[in-house]
Amino acid sequence: MFYHDSKLQYKVRVEKPNPAFANMLQQAIGGIEGEIRVCLQYLFQAWGSRGPQKYRDMLMETGTEEIAHIEMLATAVALNLEGAPVSLQEEMAKDKVIGAVMGGMNPRHVLSSGLAAMAVDSNGVPFNGSWVVGSGNLAADMYANVMAESTGRLLATRLWEATDDPGMKDMLAFLIARDTMHQNQWLAVLEELGGLNGVHPIPNSFPQAEENQEFNYAFVSTKINDEDGAAERMKSSRWGTGQSMDGKGEFKVVPAMPKGQKPELAPPDPRGHAQKEQMTGGASGLVDKVKEKLT
Amino acid sequence: MFYHDSKLQYKVRVEKPNPAFANMLQQAIGGIEGEIRVCLQYLFQAWGSRGPQKYRDMLMETGTEEIAHIEMLATAVALNLEGAPVSLQEEMAKDKVIGAVMGGMNPRHVLSSGLAAMAVDSNGVPFNGSWVVGSGNLAADMYANVMAESTGRLLATRLWEATDDPGMKDMLAFLIARDTMHQNQWLAVLEELGGLNGVHPIPNSFPQAEENQEFNYAFVSTKINDEDGAAERMKSSRWGTGQSMDGKGEFKVVPAMPKGQKPELAPPDPRGHAQKEQMTGGASGLVDKVKEKLT
Amino acid sequence: MFYHDSKLQYKVRVEKPNPAFANMLQQAIGGIEGEIRVCLQYLFQAWGSRGPQKYRDMLMETGTEEIAHIEMLATAVALNLEGAPVSLQEEMAKDKVIGAVMGGMNPRHVLSSGLAAMAVDSNGVPFNGSWVVGSGNLAADMYANVMAESTGRLLATRLWEATDDPGMKDMLAFLIARDTMHQNQWLAVLEELGGLNGVHPIPNSFPQAEENQEFNYAFVSTKINDEDGAAERMKSSRWGTGQSMDGKGEFKVVPAMPKGQKPELAPPDPRGHAQKEQMTGGASGLVDKVKEKLT
Amino acid sequence: MFYHDSKLQYKVRVEKPNPAFANMLQQAIGGIEGEIRVCLQYLFQAWGSRGPQKYRDMLMETGTEEIAHIEMLATAVALNLEGAPVSLQEEMAKDKVIGAVMGGMNPRHVLSSGLAAMAVDSNGVPFNGSWVVGSGNLAADMYANVMAESTGRLLATRLWEATDDPGMKDMLAFLIARDTMHQNQWLAVLEELGGLNGVHPIPNSFPQAEENQEFNYAFVSTKINDEDGAAERMKSSRWGTGQSMDGKGEFKVVPAMPKGQKPELAPPDPRGHAQKEQMTGGASGLVDKVKEKLT
Amino acid sequence: MFYHDSKLQYKVRVEKPNPAFANMLQQAIGGIEGEIRVCLQYLFQAWGSRGPQKYRDMLMETGTEEIAHIEMLATAVALNLEGAPVSLQEEMAKDKVIGAVMGGMNPRHVLSSGLAAMAVDSNGVPFNGSWVVGSGNLAADMYANVMAESTGRLLATRLWEATDDPGMKDMLAFLIARDTMHQNQWLAVLEELGGLNGVHPIPNSFPQAEENQEFNYAFVSTKINDEDGAAERMKSSRWGTGQSMDGKGEFKVVPAMPKGQKPELAPPDPRGHAQKEQMTGGASGLVDKVKEKLT
Amino acid sequence: MFYHDSKLQYKVRVEKPNPAFANMLQQAIGGIEGEIRVCLQYLFQAWGSRGPQKYRDMLMETGTEEIAHIEMLATAVALNLEGAPVSLQEEMAKDKVIGAVMGGMNPRHVLSSGLAAMAVDSNGVPFNGSWVVGSGNLAADMYANVMAESTGRLLATRLWEATDDPGMKDMLAFLIARDTMHQNQWLAVLEELGGLNGVHPIPNSFPQAEENQEFNYAFVSTKINDEDGAAERMKSSRWGTGQSMDGKGEFKVVPAMPKGQKPELAPPDPRGHAQKEQMTGGASGLVDKVKEKLT
Q: What digits encode the pLDDT tens for the residues D166-193?
A: 999 999 999 999 999 999 999 999 999 9
D:240-259 residues touching chain A, CB 8 A cutoff: 256, 258
Residues F96 and F217 in one domain: no
Highest mean pLDDT among B143-152, E273-282, F91-100 belongs to B143-152
Neighboring chain B residues of F112 at a CB cutoff of 8 Å = 135
pLDDT of residue A220: 96
- Is residue F182 a known part of a binding site? yes
The chain A residue lying nearest E257, using CA atoms, is A225
- Which band of pLDDT confidence, cut at 50, 70 and 90, is reported for residue F289? low
**In angstroms, rounded to a whole number, what is the distance separating the alpha carbons of residues D55 and B265?**
43
Q: Does A286 touch chain E (CB under 8 A)?
A: no
Q: In this structure, what CATH number is given to the domain that contains residue B65?
A: 1.20.1260.10
Q: Is residue E275 part of a domain?
A: no
C177, C197, C217 - which closes a domain: C197
Q: How many CA within 13 A on the CB side of residue E288?
A: 4
Q: Which of B161, B222, B274 sits opposite C203 (nearest CB)?
A: B274
Q: Is residue E290 part of a domain?
A: no
**C88 in Cβ contact with B21 (< 8 Å):** yes
- Is residue B227 a known part of a binding site? no
- Which band of pLDDT confidence, cut at 50, 70 and 90, is reported for residue C175? very high
Beta-ladder partners of A2 = C4
Share of chain F above pLDDT 70, in %: 92
| Min Cα separation C73/chain B (Å) | 21
pLDDT of residue F280: 77
Residue B250 CB neighbours (<10 A): 10
Q: Is residue F289 part of a domain?
A: no
Q: Do C264 and E53 touch (CB under 8 A)?
A: yes
Neighboring chain A residues of E271 at a CB cutoff of 8 Å = 158, 161
Q: Does A123 touch chain B (CB under 8 A)?
A: no
* Arithmetic mean of pLDDT over chain F: 93
pLDDT reading at E17 higher than 50: yes
Q: Do A111 and D222 touch (CB under 8 A)?
A: no
Average pLDDT of span A264-281: 91
The terminus-to-terminus CA distance of chain F in angstroms comes to 55
Neighboring chain C residues of E139 at a CB cutoff of 8 Å = 275
DSSP helix/strand/coil, D204: coil
Q: Does D272 touch chain B (CB under 8 A)?
A: yes
**In angstroms, rounded to a whole number, what is the distance separating the alpha carbons of residues D290 and D235?**
47
Q: Do A262 and E154 touch (CB under 8 A)?
A: no
Beta-ladder partners of F2 = B4
Residues A212 and A187 in one domain: no
**In angstroms, rounded to a whole number, what is the distance separating the alpha carbons of residues C21 and C168?**
10
Nearest residue to D273 via CA among B179, B103, B21, C118: B179
Residues E191 and E237 in one domain: no
| Min Cα separation E68/chain D (Å) | 5
pLDDT reading at A228 higher than 90: no
Average pLDDT of span D23-43: 98
Q: Is residue E280 part of a domain?
A: no
**E117 in Cβ contact with E126 (< 8 Å):** no
Q: Which domain holds residue D236?
A: 208-255
Average pLDDT of span E112-121: 98
Spatial neighbors of C207 by CB under 8 A, at least 6 apart, are: none
Q: Is residue A233 part of a domain?
A: yes
pLDDT reading at B282 higher than 80: no
Spatial neighbors of A74 by CB under 8 A, at least 6 apart, are: A29, A116, A117, C44, C47, C48
Whether the complex's predicted ipTM surpasses the cut of 0.90 = yes
| Min Cα separation C209/chain E (Å) | 26
- Tens digits of per-residue pLDDT, F66-123? 999 999 999 999 999 999 988 877 555 567 677 777 789 999 999 999 999 999 999 9
pLDDT reading at D95 higher than 80: no
- Which band of pLDDT confidence, cut at 50, 70 and 90, is reported for residue B162? very high
**A186 in Cβ contact with A133 (< 8 Å):** no
Q: Do C266 and E3 touch (CB under 8 A)?
A: no
Q: Does E271 touch chain B (CB under 8 A)?
A: no
pLDDT reading at E83 higher than 70: yes
Instruction: Kindly tell me the burial class for residue D229, based on how many C-beta atoms sit within 10 Å of its own C-beta (0-12, 13-18, 19 or more).
Output: exposed
**In angstroms, rounded to a whole number, what is the distance separating the alpha carbons of residues E60 and E42?**
7
Residues B101 and B214 in one domain: no
Start-end of H helices in F82-165: 88-92, 96-104, 107-111, 138-162
Neighboring chain F residues of C154 at a CB cutoff of 8 Å = 273
- Choice between B103 and A114, residue whose per-residue pLDDT is larger: A114
Q: Do D134 and E116 touch (CB under 8 A)?
A: yes
**In angstroms, rounded to a whole number, what is the distance separating the alpha carbons of residues B211 and A176?**
6
Q: Do D275 and A203 touch (CB under 8 A)?
A: yes
| Min Cα separation F111/chain A (Å) | 6
Q: Do E129 and D120 touch (CB under 8 A)?
A: yes
Residue D99 identity:
G
Q: Which phi and psi angles does C121 have, rounded to 5°?
A: -95, -170
pLDDT of residue D295: 45
The chain D residue lying nearest A104, using CA atoms, is D103
pLDDT of residue B87: 83
Average pLDDT of span F185-191: 98
Residue F5 vs residues B66, B238, F69: alpha-carbon distances, Å: 15, 46, 13
Start-end of H helices in F163-274: 166-192, 195-199, 230-235
Beta-ladder partners of A244 = none
Neighboring chain C residues of D151 at a CB cutoff of 8 Å = 133, 135, 137, 140, 144
Q: Identify from D1, D49, D58 which residue to disrupt to test chain E contact, counting E C-beta atoms within 10 A and taking the largest count.
A: D1
Q: Is residue D3 part of a domain?
A: no
Average pLDDT of span E264-293: 76
Nearest residue to D77 via CA among D40, D24, D39: D24
- Which band of pLDDT confidence, cut at 50, 70 and 90, is reported for residue E213? very high
Average pLDDT of span A10-16: 96
pLDDT of residue F87: 84
Q: Identify from F61, F95, F234 which residue to disrupt to test chain E contact, counting E C-beta atoms within 10 A and taking the largest count.
A: F61
DSSP helix/strand/coil, C10: coil
pLDDT of residue F93: 56
Residues C178 and C152 in one domain: yes
Residues C128 and C37 in one domain: yes
**D114 in Cβ contact with E48 (< 8 Å):** yes
- Is residue E149 a known part of a binding site? yes
pLDDT reading at C93 higher than 60: no
Q: To the nearest 10°, the Cα dihedral for D162, D168, D174, D175? A: -60
Neighboring chain B residues of D225 at a CB cutoff of 8 Å = 258
**A66 in Cβ contact with A39 (< 8 Å):** yes
Average pLDDT of span E252-271: 94
Nearest residue to F19 via CA among E269, D95, D23: E269
- Chain D neighbors (3+ CB pairs < 8 Å): A, B, C, E, F
**F14 in Cβ contact with A233 (< 8 Å):** no
**In angstroms, rounded to a whole number, what is the distance separating the alpha carbons of residues E165 and D83?**
55
What total number of domains does chain F contain?
2
**In angstroms, rounded to a whole number, what is the distance separating the alpha carbons of residues A55 and E235?**
63
**In angstroms, rounded to a whole number, what is the distance separating the alpha carbons of residues A233 and A244?**
17
Spatial neighbors of A233 by CB under 8 A, at least 6 apart, are: B54, B57
Q: Is residue D233 part of a domain?
A: yes
Neighboring chain B residues of D161 at a CB cutoff of 8 Å = 271-273
pLDDT of residue E204: 97
**In angstroms, rounded to a whole number, what is the distance separating the alpha carbons of residues D287 and A197?**
31
* Arithmetic mean of pLDDT over chain D: 93
Q: Do A136 and D23 touch (CB under 8 A)?
A: no
**In angstroms, rounded to a whole number, what is the distance separating the alpha carbons of residues B234 and B240?**
6
- Which band of pLDDT confidence, cut at 50, 70 and 90, is reported for residue D226? confident
**In angstroms, rounded to a whole number, what is the distance separating the alpha carbons of residues F135 and A150?**
41
pLDDT of residue A291: 53
Average pLDDT of span A93-107: 77
pLDDT of residue F101: 77
| Min Cα separation A226/chain B (Å) | 11
pLDDT of residue F295: 45
Residues D243 and D125 in one domain: no
Please name the helix (run of DSSP H) or strand (run of DSSP E) that holds residue B141, with its range, or none: helix B138-162
- Chain C neighbors (3+ CB pairs < 8 Å): A, B, D, E, F
- Which band of pLDDT confidence, cut at 50, 70 and 90, is reported for residue E295? very low
- Which band of pLDDT confidence, cut at 50, 70 and 90, is reported for residue A259? very high
pLDDT reading at E89 higher than 90: no
Q: Do D210 and C10 touch (CB under 8 A)?
A: no
Average pLDDT of span A254-274: 94
F170, F197, F224 - which closes a domain: F197
Q: Do E157 and F287 touch (CB under 8 A)?
A: no
pLDDT of residue E88: 77
Q: Identify from D5, D26, D54, D88 which residue to disrupt to test chain F contact, counting F C-beta atoms within 10 A and taking the largest count.
A: D88
- Which band of pLDDT confidence, cut at 50, 70 and 90, is reported for residue C99? confident
| Min Cα separation E230/chain A (Å) | 12
Residues C97 and C243 in one domain: no
Residue E59 identity:
L
Spatial neighbors of D206 by CB under 8 A, at least 6 apart, are: C153, C157, C160, C176, F273
Average pLDDT of span A246-265: 96
Q: Which of C158, C225, C273 sits opposite F158 (nearest CB)?
A: C273
Residues B119 and B223 in one domain: no
- Tens digits of per-residue pLDDT, C191-243? 999 999 999 999 999 999 999 999 999 999 999 998 888 888 999 999 999 99
Average pLDDT of span E194-198: 97
Residues C139 and C215 in one domain: no
Inter-chain contacts counted by CB atoms under 8 A, chains E and F: 393
Q: Do D274 and A51 touch (CB under 8 A)?
A: yes
Q: Do C271 and F161 touch (CB under 8 A)?
A: yes
**In angstroms, rounded to a whole number, what is the distance separating the alpha carbons of residues D98 and D114?**
19
A178, A197, A216 - which closes a domain: A197
**In angstroms, rounded to a whole number, what is the distance separating the alpha carbons of residues E144 and E132?**
9
Q: Is residue D270 part of a domain?
A: no
Residue C129 CB neighbours (<10 A): 22
Helix axes of D166-192 and D53-81: crossing angle, nearest 10 degrees: 170
| Min Cα separation D35/chain E (Å) | 12
Neighboring chain E residues of D117 at a CB cutoff of 8 Å = 44, 47-48
The chain C residue lying nearest B100, using CA atoms, is C99
| Min Cα separation F188/chain E (Å) | 6
Residues B110 and B224 in one domain: no
Residues B170 and B214 in one domain: no
| Min Cα separation A86/chain C (Å) | 14
DSSP helix/strand/coil, B7: coil
Nearest residue to A72 via CA among A29, A106, A108: A29
Q: Does A48 touch chain F (CB under 8 A)?
A: no
pLDDT of residue B4: 97
